[in-house]
Structure 1
Amino acid sequence: MKTKMILTTALTLITMSMFAQNNDGRIPAKGFAVFEEKGHFQPYNFSRHAVGDNDIQIDILYAGICHSDLHHVFADWGAEEYPMVPGHEIAGRVVAVGKNVTRFKVGDYAGIGCMIGSCRHCDACEHDLEQYCEEGAIMTYHGIDRFNDNEHTQGGYSDTYVVAEDFAIRIPENADIAKVAPLLCAGITSYSPIMQAGVKSGDKVGITGFGGLGHMGVQYAISLGAEVTVFDITEEKREDAMRMGASRYVNVNNPEDLKGLDRTFDFILSTIPAKYDMTMYMKMLKLNGQFGIVGLPAFRNMPSLTVADLIFQGPRKVFGSQIGGIKETQEMLDYSVEHNIYPEVEVIKANGEEIDKAYQNVLDGKVKFRYVIDMRTMK
C-alpha cells in the first residue's frame, strides 16, 4: 500500500509539472545557445509559442551552420540579444498542425529558412519578396515575433520549432534529408541572384568565394548550361571546383591566374564574406554584364565601390540580393531535388563542443563546404 501511494504521488507530481509547462499551450524546447558575445555553446531550455490555427510544429532533424550564424554570435553586424540559439537552415518532420492548415500533414518533411513572418500586405510581400517587407521580415532567430507577443525568436540548433504554414517549405519525401537544410539559406541565396541575372546556356559566369554559398552557385550555374570560373584565395579548393564541373579555377593570389580575364564574363556572383577588391571583378564584366553580391562581411571589414568605379566602368550593372521570398525558396528546393543539387556537408553531433569546433573551422576556412548538425543526437 505504501509503495502504491508513493508511485501515485510521484505520478501526480509529474502530471502537475507537465501541466505547469503546457497549460498555456507553449511548447517546451531545448537546444544550444550562446549566452554572451563570442561565447561557447551550452545546453539551453526554453519554449516556443503554442501551435496556432495556421501553424505547424516541426521536430527538427537537421540544422545547418551558416557563416551568418557566426556573424550574429560574434555581433559582427551590430548589437545582439543573448541567450541566442542560432540556426536558420532547418529540416524536420511535422508533428502537429493547426486546424486551418492545408499544405502540411503530420509526418511530412518540412523546412524553415531565414524568416518566419512578414506583414504580408506591403508591396514587397505582395510581390513574393517577403525578405524586403516594409514592416520588417521576422527572422528565424535574433528577431522579434510581433504576431506572437513580441517574443524573441530562437533558431534551429534545437529540437522543435513552431511556424506559420505559409513560411514553411515543403520538402519532397524523396529528398536527401541530411543535405536539405543548407538549401534553405545557402541554396536560395545563390539561386535567387542567378535567376535575377537571367543566366542561360553558354553564358560565362564567375563565382567568387568557393564556400557554402559559392559551391551552390557553381552547381546552379552549371545546371543552366553556363561556363563557370571559380575564384578563391587558396589552391586547396581547385580540385573540388573542377570536380563539380567548373571550367576554370582562379587563385586570386596568383597574378598569372588573373591574366586575360577583363571583359570576359556575362555575370559574376560574389559570395565573399571579407574585404576584397570589387573593382577588379567589375573590370572582368563584359559591357552590360552583371555583378551580383550576396556575401556580407562584418561591418568593420566591408568592401566598397566608389562613384568613379561605377561611372568609368560604363554600362555594367551591380546589384545585391538577400535570400529569396517563400515562393522562390520553394521553387529552388523543388529544382534542387529534381536536379540532384545538394550542398556537400559534414554532419556533426548535437553538442556544444562539436558546434564550437565547427565554428572555429568555419572561421579558419577549413570546412568543405557546410556543417550540418544532426539534432537527433542531442541528449
Structure 2
Amino acid sequence: MVRPWSFERRDLRTHDVAVAITYCGVCYSDVEAVRGVREPTLPLVPGHELVGRVSAVGDDVTKFQVGDSVAISNCIDSCAVCDECRAGYQNHCTDGSPTLTYNGVDRYDGRRTQGGWSTEYVATEAWVHRLPDALDPAAAAPLMCVGTTSWEASRHWEIGPGMTVGVVGIGGLGHLGVKFAKALGAEVVAFTITPDHVADIKALGADDVVVSSHPDALAAQSRRFDFILDTASGAHDLSPYLRALRLHGTMCLLGITPVVEVETRSLRVGRHSVSGSGTGSPARVREMPDFCAEESIAADVEVLPSAQVTTALQRLERGDVRYRLVLDLADLAAVGS
C-alpha cells in the first residue's frame, strides 16, 4: 500500500545540495519495489527520476546555488576508490555497487536512502545534474532513468552517422532510444509487436518500423543492422535479431528480462556480440541534458498528481502507458510530507 509518510532528510554535509522536488517519474522498478519483488526495507519512499530547484547548499558546494534547476538520477554515490570509480565508471562500482537513490544504504551514516516521491532530496553535488532552461521539467524527469540508460549505451557504442540502428521494444526505454539514435545521426528502425503503433513510432523519429510479430517481416531484416538496442522486458528469443546484424554487429540488452534464449549459430555466423548496459556514470548523465536541449529531445510523458500514485502503478503493471508517467508533487505539501 502507498500512503503519505513524514520523515526527515539528513542535515547537509559540506558538499551536499538540497533539492525542492517538483516532479518525479514512475518507473517499473518502483512497481517491483512497492510489490516487494526487490525485498525493500520498509517504510520505503520510491522514485529515482526527480527534478526540482536547489533550496540549500553545503559550505563547500561550488557547482550550484539556490534556485538552480537540477535533476537527480537513480544513483547518488559510489565508493570513489575502486578501479571502476577511478576510471570514471562509477555506475559500475565494485564496492557493493553504486548507492541507489532509494532503498540503498548511505555510505557515511548507514541510513536507508529514501527516494523522490517527496518534497525534498539531499545528495552530494557530484551526483546532482544541472537542467538547461530549455527543457520542460516534467518531461525531463524520465531522462534521469530510462534516458540515462539509453544514452549510456548509445554513447558507449558510438552510435552516429552511417550506422543503421534497431530498437526493440518501444516503451519508456525504447522511445528515447529511438530519439537518441536519430539525433546522433543514425538510420533508425524500430521493432514492435503491435501493428497499431506503427504511426506513433514513426512520429518519434523512426525511419522504418518492423512488426516483429510477423515472422516473415523479421526474417527479411537479415544483415541490415550495425547495432541493435533491445529494451524489451518480456522473455524473447534473441536469435532472429542477431541474424539481422551485419558482420561484427552488437546487440545490447537494456531490458530487465532475467533470462533470454539464443541460438549459438546466430552468434558464430557474423561474429555477432551480445552485450548489456545499465545506468550511466555521472559524466554521461551530465552531458545528456545539454544534448537533449540542443536537439529538443524529451520523454513523452503524462503528468499525474502524486495523489494518483496508486493509479500510476496499476497502469504501469498493465502496460497502459505511452510512454512515461510523471508525478506532480505540488500536492504533497498539503499532506505534510
Q: Which residue of 2 aligns with 1:37?
A: none
- Determine the C-alpha separation between the residues in 2 that align with 1:161 and 1:296: 27
1:153 to 85, 97, 113: 113
The SS at the match of 2:159 is coil
Q: What is the distance in 2 between the residues matched to 1:109 and 1:194? A: 25
- Shift of the alpha carbon at 1:153? 0.6
Does the Cα contact within 8 Å between 2:190 and 2:209 map onto a contact in 1?
A: yes
Give, as a single letter, the amino acid of the residue that structure 2 aligns with 1:347: V
Which residue number corresponds to residue 52 of structure 1?
13
Instruction: Check conservation: 1:264, 1:284, Cα contact below 8 A.
Output: yes
1:328 is matched with which residue: 284, 289, 310?
A: 284
The answer as to whether partners of 1:65 and 1:89 remain within 8 angstroms in 2 is: yes
Instruction: Pick one of 254, 260, 263 that aligns with 1:303.
Output: 260
> Where does residue 115 of structure 1 map in the other structure?
75
Q: Which has the higher contact order (CA 8 A, sep 6+)?
A: 2
> 1:267: Cα distance to partner?
0.5
Relative to structure 2, which stretch is displaced further, 175-184 or 212-221?
Answer: 175-184
- Cα deviation, 1:49-86, whole Å, max 9, x if unaligned, reads 1111110100000001112222332343x422222211
Residue in 2 aligned with 1:128?
A: 88
Please state how far the C-alpha of 1:173 moved relative to its aligned partner.
2.6
2:157 to 197, 218, 234: 197
Number of residue pairs matched by the alignment: 332
State yes or no: 1:181 paired with 2:137.
no
Q: 1:289 to 1:170 in 2, by over 3 A?
A: same
Structure-2 residue corresponding to 1:344? 300
Structure 2 contact 246–270 (Cα < 8 Å) conserved: no
Equivalent of 1:360, from 310, 314, 319? 314
Q: Which residue of 2 aligns with 1:62?
A: 23
Q: Alpha-carbon deviations, 1:19-56, whole Å to 9, x = none?
A: xxxxxxxxxxxxxxxxxxxxx21111111111111101
User: C-alpha separation between the residues in 2 aligned to 1:255 and 1:319?
Assistant: 24
RMSD value over aligned CA atoms? 1.5
Give unmatched runs, 5+ long, in structure 1: 1-39
Structure 1 residue ranges, 4+ long, deviating more than 6 angstroms after superposition: none
Query: Aligned residue for 1:214?
Result: 174
Q: Residues 282 and 313 of structure 1 are in contact (CA less than 8 Å); yes or no, is this contact kept in structure 2?
A: no
TM-score after normalising by structure 1: 0.84
- Compared with structure 1, are the counterparts of its residues 310 and 280 closer, same or farther at alpha carbon in structure 2 (3 Å cutoff)? closer
More displaced stretch, 359-368 vs 101-110: 359-368
CA contact (8 A) 1:270 1:292 kept: yes
| Structure number with bigger Rg | 1
Partner of 2:44: 84
1:377 positional shift: 2.3
Matched-pair identity in %: 36
1:254 Cα deviation from its structure 2 partner: 2.1
CA offsets 1:318-348 (integer angstroms, 9 cap, x no match): 2111111001100111111111100000000
